[in-house]
Amino acid sequence: MADEENAYTFTTRATRHITLGNLPADGMHLWRGERLPEVTLAYESWGELNPAADNAIIIFTGLSPSAHAASSAEDPSPGWWEYMVGPGKAIDTERFFVVCANSLGGCYGSTGPGSLNPNTGEAYGADFPDVTVEDIASSGYYLMRELGVEKIHAAAGSSMGGMSAIAYAMQYPGAIKYLISISAATQALPLTIALRSLQREIIRSDPDWNNGHYSDAHRPLSGMSLARKLGLVSYRAADEWNSKFDRSRLPPEKLSGKRFEREFEIENYLEYNARKFIHSFDPNSYLYLSRAMDWFDIAEHGESISDGMSKIDVEKALVVGVTTDILFPARQQREIADAMRATGTDVDYIEIDSVNGHDAFLIDDEHFSPVVKNFLDGTVA
Amino acid sequence: MADEENAYTFTTRATRHITLGNLPADGMHLWRGERLPEVTLAYESWGELNPAADNAIIIFTGLSPSAHAASSAEDPSPGWWEYMVGPGKAIDTERFFVVCANSLGGCYGSTGPGSLNPNTGEAYGADFPDVTVEDIASSGYYLMRELGVEKIHAAAGSSMGGMSAIAYAMQYPGAIKYLISISAATQALPLTIALRSLQREIIRSDPDWNNGHYSDAHRPLSGMSLARKLGLVSYRAADEWNSKFDRSRLPPEKLSGKRFEREFEIENYLEYNARKFIHSFDPNSYLYLSRAMDWFDIAEHGESISDGMSKIDVEKALVVGVTTDILFPARQQREIADAMRATGTDVDYIEIDSVNGHDAFLIDDEHFSPVVKNFLDGTVA
């Protein structure tokens, strides 16, 4: 594979690629002022768009997932939200036409820093323009129109995906009927910015990052591994790890005997998960999407959070928080719900008592499926 | 300064150095089995030991402080616990003879990885033996006997210092009358181990760490800076930062204009504090003392935490927790208090509602001084 190509772009048999044809002639105008001459989105879909084109649901992802939210006949491998999306499941693909795109700026087939810059013929790297949550939402809007959907039934997302769904609703009032925001935020707060800024600085401090212009042979894997570990620490909750790992040590045959090397199972768990990740995610995409979350601030859509929220025009919203989330804490979910209600949106607010922290939506089928199913059932009563 | 010397060892006019003369002939036997042929401790003291030698208080420190807990005529610069220690203060130096030592393994004058190894004539570096909280406590015990104290009035400490005070009480039953443990732990739990392990791995990943044998000219400053930032994130609480920084941006003249560089005040705050730290702390000391906290487990002093705690023989203990501490959470302080009570120790447990997280004991004079003063007043009624 040539250096200037994105090492991470992959497609499954279920992945479609679409080059947005409905952008302005000079390309996509991004929220912070830069421009992308050409935008391709990788997406998957499940179910069928009905003749009235009013049964579409768009799912926005968190930082790292691909468009492969669920399995299908074309790609039977489990998706990242497998328990949630499928025939008869909470997001019921027998009833809805469900679309999930890889985020703009990502590395799983959508235009991102690993894509070729048409102006230079080389990968953008750190010359990729600033991408925001607003831009991810807009690219989803253009995608749905390409797919023949003027008004979507529901936009749903968790974490960065929840922010994207809210940004969609704010930027295109009336373009969605129902909104599902899980573990999102009205704006990034200092602790979260600090945790993400540190992850980015760790990657940028790896000499192999090379100011964002690394080759496939010299990717900043050490920095990515450390950043991913810090991410994992912030995604989970203390009590879960207490019960899962406690103070378990590695068996003697797994100890290197070197001072400061891994000795506790928790250290091994982080290492195992980081290794899985670093070979499948583009460091520059990590940097761009991570920064996008820092920038997100509903107050920038008006004079205040409340003013930004007042732009939303949906029939009803579902807002979900998790008691043990330290990254997007439950009080931020209550803030979303309260701000929506204060500006006239009908809101179901559910706080889930899960041990799984910020990652709960990826894991906790038992708590999340009934909440989402109940809400969506109510939208088609 | 020669490479093999410790760049960080400094003394103030108030600092004394004592080479422990009461160790076994072959040196100090450490808890994990290694041995230190010679141990020097740097300490400061305030007040006078009374003729009965029964008014001594030893203060154990957290990971990074020096022996300079408070100012004195010899060194009027403020100490790290200035509000707590002094004439008429909560730890009243008109009444008590107060001693604070730089931790064994530290870099402010006590024997540590930056010290010369008498066997080689060069700095230990990563050949320094494994040091534990138990060893820090033992070195304090030897120090107090050198100073003519058989039974100390009180052992006090916060964070790692609280663990050290507990370890002192467990290892030398009857050698202290009163115990003050602030924001400590019965044992390190997975989240805390993960956060510290990651800091250590960040330092070790800096090529300048050089397997623990760096020169003064090539210290792993980049790794230290990132590790310190992560430490700071874990020491403070979200709400404090929300009110202090919110989403404030740097003024335009402070922006580098480079992508991913610091843009929010919180990022600048971390950078400022990390820069202050990295030139004054030895990376190897950071690694050794950080690992010592992971290893600490009262259950290793018996069959269980309760069994370990049953070794404590003090007249009364003060246990203090902070509501917003995410690193040594309040429930761990309640666990200490409950385990002590269950094994017959009289305990005052106080939970302080401070916004300052784990660092509260360093900052929150208003809440901490009355609690400590009230407890110590009761010990000399």
What is the per-residue pLDDT across B235-246, written as a single tens digit (0 to 9) for each? Answer: 998 989 999 999
Give the residue carrying structure tokens 């997280």.
Answer: B357
A11 domain-assigned:
no
**Contact with chain B for residue A371, Cβ under 8 A:** no
Q: What pLDDT was estimated at residue B204?
A: 97
CB of A124 within 8 A of CB of A115?
yes
Radius of gyration, alpha carbons of chain B: 20
Give the residue carrying structure tokens 């969506």.
Answer: A376
List chain A residues with CB under 8 Å of B242.
189-191
**Contact with chain A for residue B264, Cβ under 8 A:** yes
List chain A residues with CB under 8 Å of B201.
226, 229
Domain final position from B289, B312, B347: B289
The pTM score is 0.95
Closest approach of A61 to chain B, Cα-based (Å): 22
**Contact with chain B for residue A257, Cβ under 8 A:** no
Give yes or no: residues A203 and A68 share one domain. no
Give residues 24 to 53 of A whose Cβ lies within 8 Å of B.
Answer: none
B184 domain-assigned:
yes
Question: What's the mean pLDDT in B169-183?
Answer: 97
CB of A114 within 8 A of CB of A1?
no
CB of A188 within 8 A of CB of A93?
no
List chain B residues with CB under 8 Å of A231.
none
Question: What's the mean pLDDT in B29-40?
Answer: 96
Give the residue carrying structure tokens 């402080």.
Answer: B65
Question: What's the mean pLDDT in A166-179?
Answer: 98
B369's enclosing H/E stretch is helix B365-379
Question: What's the mean pLDDT in B149-162?
Answer: 98
CB of B112 within 8 A of CB of B40?
no
Closest residue in B to A222 (Cα–Cα) = B205
Q: Which domain holds residue B67?
A: 16-188+296-379
Res B4 pLDDT > 60: no
Domain final position from B243, B270, B289: B289
List chain B residues with CB under 8 Å of A126.
259-260
Give yes or no: residues A215 and A258 share one domain. yes
Give yes or no: residues B269 and B308 share one domain. no
Give yes or no: residues A125 and A217 share one domain. no
Do you know the residue count of chain B? 381
Closest approach of A202 to chain B, Cα-based (Å): 7
**Contact with chain A for residue B200, Cβ under 8 A:** yes
CB of B71 within 8 A of CB of B56?
no
List chain A residues with CB under 8 Å of B125.
none
B6 domain-assigned:
no
Q: What pLDDT was estimated at residue A50?
A: 98
Q: What is the pLDDT of residues A57-74, one digit of tens each?
A: 999 999 999 999 999 999
Residue A159 annotated as catalytic:
yes
Give yes or no: residues B196 and B274 share one domain. yes
A297 vs B201, B247, B294: nearest CB: B247
CATH code of residue A253: 1.10.1740.110
Q: What pLDDT was estimated at residue B26?
A: 94
Best residue of B191, B300, B327 to probe chain A, by most A CBs closer than 10 Å: B191
B13 falls in which pLDDT band (50, 70, 90)?
Answer: confident
Question: What's the mean pLDDT in A302-313?
Answer: 96
List chain B residues with CB under 8 Å of A212.
259
Residue A132 token pair: 């925001």
CB pair distance less than 8 Å for A229 and B194: yes
CB pair distance less than 8 Å for B230 and A229: no
A4 domain-assigned:
no
Domain final position from A259, A289, A319: A289
CB of A229 within 8 A of CB of A202?
no
B2 falls in which pLDDT band (50, 70, 90)?
Answer: very low
Q: What is the pLDDT of residues B88-123, one digit of tens each?
A: 999 999 999 999 999 999 999 999 999 999 889 999
The CA distances from residue B168 to A68, A76, B30, B288, in Å, are: 56, 59, 14, 19
A1 domain-assigned:
no
Q: What is the pLDDT of residues A234-289, one digit of tens each?
A: 999 898 999 999 999 999 999 988 999 999 999 999 999 999 999 999 999 999 99
Residue-by-residue DSSP string for A212-269: G---GGG--HHHHHHHHHHHHHHHS-HHHHHHHTTTPBPPGGG---STTS--BHHHHH
Q: What pLDDT was estimated at residue A381?
A: 75
CB atoms within 10 A of CB B213: 16
Q: What pLDDT was estimated at residue B10?
A: 55
Closest residue in B to A202 (Cα–Cα) = B226
Res A7 pLDDT > 60: no
CATH code of residue A75: 3.40.50.1820
Give yes or no: residues A35 and A151 share one domain. yes
Best residue of A30, A259, A265, A298 to probe chain B, by most B CBs closer than 10 Å: A259
Closest approach of A360 to chain B, Cα-based (Å): 17
Q: Catalogue the active-site residues of B.
A: 159, 325, 358
Q: What pLDDT was estimated at residue B7?
A: 47
Q: What pLDDT was estimated at residue B102?
A: 97
CB of B142 within 8 A of CB of B21?
no
Give the sheet arrangement for strand A97-101, strand by strand. A16-19, A40-46, A97-101, A56-60, A152-158, A176-182, A316-322, A347-352
Q: What pLDDT was estimated at residue B217?
A: 83
CB pair distance less than 8 Å for B189 and A247: yes
Q: What pLDDT was estimated at residue A60?
A: 98
Best residue of A195, A199, A201 to probe chain B, by most B CBs closer than 10 Å: A201
Beta bridge partners of A117: A122
Closest approach of B277 to chain A, Cα-based (Å): 16
Res B353 pLDDT > 50: yes
B5 falls in which pLDDT band (50, 70, 90)?
Answer: very low
Do you know the residue count of chain A? 381
- Mean pLDDT (chain A) is 95
B266 domain-assigned:
yes
Q: What pLDDT was estimated at residue B117?
A: 93
Rounded Cα distance, B367 and B79, in Å: 19
Question: What's the mean pLDDT in B183-206?
Answer: 97
Amino acid, res. A312? I
Helix/strand/coil for B354:
coil
- Mean pLDDT (chain B) is 95
B50 domain-assigned:
yes
Closest approach of B169 to chain A, Cα-based (Å): 23
Helix/strand/coil for B160:
helix
Q: What pLDDT was estimated at residue B6?
A: 42
A320's enclosing H/E stretch is strand A316-322
Give yes or no: residues B35 and B178 share one domain. yes
Res A211 pLDDT > 90: yes
Q: What pLDDT was estimated at residue A216?
A: 81
Give yes or no: residues A153 and A199 share one domain. no
Give yes or no: residues A41 and A95 share one domain. yes
Residue-by-residue DSSP string for A129-192: PP--HHHHHHHHHHHHHHTT-SSEEEEEEETHHHHHHHHHHHHSTTSEEEEEEES--SB--HHH
A266 vs B126, B190, B230: nearest CB: B190
List chain B residues with CB under 8 Å of A230.
198, 230
A363 domain-assigned:
yes
B194 vs A130, A233, A246: nearest CB: A233
**Contact with chain A for residue B338, Cβ under 8 A:** no
Beta strands in B61-190 (DSSP E): 85-86, 91-92, 97-101, 152-158, 176-182
Q: What pLDDT was estimated at residue B8?
A: 54
CB pair distance less than 8 Å for A190 and B264: yes
Closest residue in B to A192 (Cα–Cα) = B238
Whether ipTM tops 0.90, in short, is yes
Amino acid, res. B203? I
Res A26 pLDDT > 50: yes
List chain A residues with CB under 8 Å of B256.
none
Question: What's the mean pLDDT in B167-196?
Answer: 97
Give yes or no: residues B57 and B128 share one domain. yes
Residue B183 token pair: 């924001």
A10 falls in which pLDDT band (50, 70, 90)?
Answer: low
Work out how many domains chain B is built from and give that number: 2
Amino acid, res. B347? V
**Contact with chain A for residue B297, Cβ under 8 A:** yes
Helix/strand/coil for B301:
helix
Rounded Cα distance, B25 and A111, in Å: 69
Give yes or no: residues B318 and B306 share one domain. yes
CB pair distance less than 8 Å for A291 and B244: no
CB pair distance less than 8 Å for B266 and A197: yes
Give residues 157 to 186 of A whose Cβ lies within 8 Å of B.
Answer: none
B11 falls in which pLDDT band (50, 70, 90)?
Answer: low
The CA distances from residue A178 to A84, A172, A312, A365, in Å, are: 17, 13, 10, 21
How many CB contacts within 8 angstroms connect chain A with chain B? 125
Rounded Cα distance, A180 and A377, in Å: 13
Give yes or no: residues A210 and A150 share one domain. no
